[in-house]
Amino acid sequence: MDQPSHALLEFVNVRKAFASTVTEDSAVDVAVDGVSCGIAAGSFVALVGASGSGKSTLLKTVNRLGDPDSGQVLLAGDNVQDAAPAMLRRRIGYVFQGVGLFPHMNVADNIGIGPRLSGTRASDGRIAELLELVELDGSYAGRMPHELSGGQRQRIGVARALAGNPQLLLMDEPFGALDPLTRDGLGKRVRALHGQLNLTTMMVTHDMAEALLLADRILVMEKGRIVADETPRSLLKGAGGPIAQAMVAVPREQAAALAQMAQLDGPA
């Protein structure tokens, strides 16, 4: 797939390694191995791969939760390593599995934590607006995290990520702990918000079906490298190579098995 000519986010030969936990002391495990690619403004990109492929490590180099050992990550042309992490993260929304709501704060305070750290306060109207964006009514503002379901907590996490009007939304396995119905509904809502708010979104997932349904570009990672860079349509038509096609085969085979079950004779 061609690289975007005007990228909001660029990875330039990014490499990240960790000390090996299974070999001699001097050995390292390379998590990200010289990745270079650009992410166009307004795109929804999914990073897909097996556990240990490097997808979450690559994502975390963007908001400096893990700096690369070499290479550059550029946001709107600026090297993210030149920015103070706290200031950088105010330009980037971040949603992750488990949400991480502060248990002693109500929903309104959790949503408004980013603006407050920036020296401003999210008004009651702004909190209500953010709740509406994630399809929760204003009565949730005063609730505590323990009073919410898992899906509601994850919606609050999305609202919190959007509170600072970010240029970029990063999501790391955001729906992984949710039941299938909640996961499907929240995924569709995030995709709608992506278009409604003109976001640039980068999402890590191990679920190829989720990537195919939500993203407009899919990067498949294996052993720290991008091994396929395709649109959902091209992947479904057989592009991307054997690793990508092995991942596409899983939801395809599941769909075929369900269709076969539905055609079997016998009582419903």
| Spans of the chain, pLDDT less than 70 | 1-5, 21-26, 265-268
Q: What is the pLDDT of residue 1?
A: 57
Residue 265, in any domain of the structure: no
Residue 235, in any domain of the structure: yes
Q: What is the pLDDT of residue 62?
A: 96
CATH number of the CATH domain containing 77: 3.40.50.300
Domain with 199, as residue range(s), is 7-255
**pTM of the full predicted structure?**
0.90
Q: What is the pLDDT of residue 268?
A: 59
Residue 228, in any domain of the structure: yes
Q: What is the pLDDT of residue 24?
A: 59
Residue 264, in any domain of the structure: no
Q: What is the pLDDT of residue 233?
A: 97
Residue 39, in any domain of the structure: yes
CA-to-CA separations, 186 to 182, 203, 264, in angstroms, rounded: 6, 14, 33
Q: What is the pLDDT of residue 22?
A: 59
The secondary element (H helix, E strand) that includes residue 36 is: strand 28-40
Residue 1, in any domain of the structure: no
Number of domains in the chain: 1
